[in-house]
Amino acid sequence: MELDVHALKENLFEDLNHRWMLISATDGEHANSMTAGWGGMGVMWERDVFFIMVRPCRYTYEILEKTDTVTLSFFGDGYRKELTYLGRNSGRDEDKLALCGLTPVIEGKDVYFKEAKTVLSGRIIAKMDLKSEHLVDETLERCYPQKDYHRIYVCEFVRGFEQ
Ligand SMILES: Cc1cc2nc3c(=O)[nH]c(=O)nc-3n(C[C@H](O)[C@H](O)[C@H](O)COP(=O)(O)O)c2cc1C
């Protein structure tokens, strides 16, 4: 069922720290997904957007640098094992989509999962590299012991659906 972004009844990002989501993308040749616990949705530059934070060491980062399209997949209960796998292993080392135990769907530039409850697809419209000096609250540095500051991708909402 197609989803009107304004009609999203629950806040998908509420409790994301505990429920997690999958960020997926393809560069046309390779597709990959990784688990994410940080991100949000809102309005920027008068557009409906979602944003995600990806560290440069992720294989997903490499793919995101070669595409303009990202999907977010949100799941109901019962997929902890699959999301843990996708959040602990790298697509650089193995074909995670084949091994994760979920059913990947590739539709044009969108990669998502058949088991997802809600899927959002967006077009990357801005990228921002977080730097140490941007962390006004210096205690946030504890998230970066290796100084691998995130790249923040802001994506304009293109379509969403519930399955
Ligand atoms: C619960 C959870 C949340 C995560 N959130 C993020 C995140 O928001 N950003 C990020 O860069 N990595 C995050 N990760 C780590 C990546 O999912 C993990 O490094 C993954 O193996 C990267 O896969 P890739 O190399 O195939 O892209 C998270 C991992 C877990 C388990």
Question: What is the rounded distance in angstroms from the CA atom of residue 8 to the CA atom of residue 118?
Answer: 10
Contacts of 11 (CB under 8 A, 6+ apart): 41
Residues 64-91 have a mean pLDDT of: 97
Query: Distance between CA 146 and CA 97 in Å, rounded?
Result: 28
Indicate the pTM of the whole model.
0.96
Q: What residue ranges do the domains of the chain occupy?
A: 5-162
Residue nearest to atom 1 of ligand 1 (CA): 37
**Ligand 1 site residues, Cβ closer than 6 angstroms:** 20, 32, 34-38, 53-55, 58-60, 87-92, 96
- HSE, side-chain direction, 13 A CA sphere, residue 107: 10
The correct CATH number of 5-162 out of 3.30.70.2190, 2.30.110.10, 3.40.190.10, 3.30.360.10 is 2.30.110.10
Percent of the chain whose predicted confidence (pLDDT) is above 70: 98
**Ligand 1: centre distance to CA 161 (Å):** 23
pLDDT reported for residue 18: 85
